Amino acid sequence: MHTVELLADSATEERVRHVWQRLAAAGLPSLADHRHPTNRPHLTLATSPELPWVLRRELCTVLTALPLPLSLRGVIRFSGRVKVLAWRVVPDAALAALQREVWEVLAGSGSGVGNPLHEPGTWVPHISLARARSGAVPWPDELLPAELSQQWDGTFDAARSYDSTARTVEPLT
């Protein structure tokens, strides 16, 4: 599977990594524990089983809309087989439009889209902070870092694609 992801400015990335560390220091599951060199705070716009060269060129054209404002506000918990703690990204009109354009490029490519949760109108923009595979949701509010209750504003300034089979990334801007 190939992702289309937005990357944040360095101050925002540092802030998210700080929260990862604070979660880990509190003994909670955290992406700070994920040591793969591609692990980086990001916002996934969509996924596709394939990302041929011609499609990458079209995505790069769409992604010239960057930079875009980024606003982090509040915590989201996703349940299911894998539980996720995330920082909610509040999308403005430009971010929502960019996500829709990326979805439409992938949907119209013949390669298809990989995850229906990224469909415009269903997509819940967020930056993941932690994942856990078992038990109850392990992030009690009283143990969460104070930063998560504060609004953070920054910028999405780059994009990349992650190939989950090869476990590699490639810039898209």
The CATH number of whichever domain residue 100 belongs to comes to 3.90.1140.10
Q: Is the pLDDT of residue 158 over 80?
A: yes
What is the average pLDDT value for the chain, to the nearest integer? Answer: 92
From residue 39, alpha-carbon distances to 20, 83, 128, 167 in Å are: 12, 18, 11, 10
Confidence of residue 105 (pLDDT cuts 50, 70, 90): very high
**Residue 82 is which amino acid?**
V
* Amino acid 112: pLDDT: 62
Tally of domains in the chain: 1
* Amino acid 38: pLDDT: 84
Residue with the bigger pLDDT between 138 and 16: it is 16
**Domain enclosing residue 132, as ranges:** 2-171
Over the stretch 2-40, which tens digit does the pLDDT of each residue have? 999 999 999 999 999 999 999 999 999 999 988 887 889
- What backbone phi and psi angles, to 5 degrees, belong to 55? -70, -40
Distance CA 72, CA 1 (A): 27
Lookup: tokens for 70: 């980024």
With CA atoms as reference, report the closest residue to 171 among 65, 34, 57.
Answer: 57
Question: Are 167 and 38 contacting, i.e. CB atoms less than 8 angstroms apart?
Answer: yes
Lookup: tokens for 23: 């979660």
Which of 27-36, 61-70, 124-133, 159-168 bottoms out in mean pLDDT, i.e. has the lowest?
Answer: 27-36
Which of 31-35, 46-50, 97-101 bottoms out in mean pLDDT, i.e. has the lowest?
Answer: 31-35
Distance CA 1, CA 74 (A): 29
Q: Is the pLDDT of residue 109 over 80?
A: no
Q: Is the pLDDT of residue 136 over 70?
A: no
Over the stretch 59-94, which tens digit does the pLDDT of each residue have? 999 999 999 999 999 999 998 888 999 999 999 999
Lookup: tokens for 55: 């499609």
Helix pair angle (53-62, 93-107), 10° resolution:
160
From residue 7, alpha-carbon distances to 25, 27, 56, 90, 153 in Å are: 25, 27, 17, 15, 14
From residue 55, alpha-carbon distances to 2, 9, 16, 167 in Å are: 12, 25, 30, 19
Q: Is the pLDDT of residue 169 over 90?
A: yes
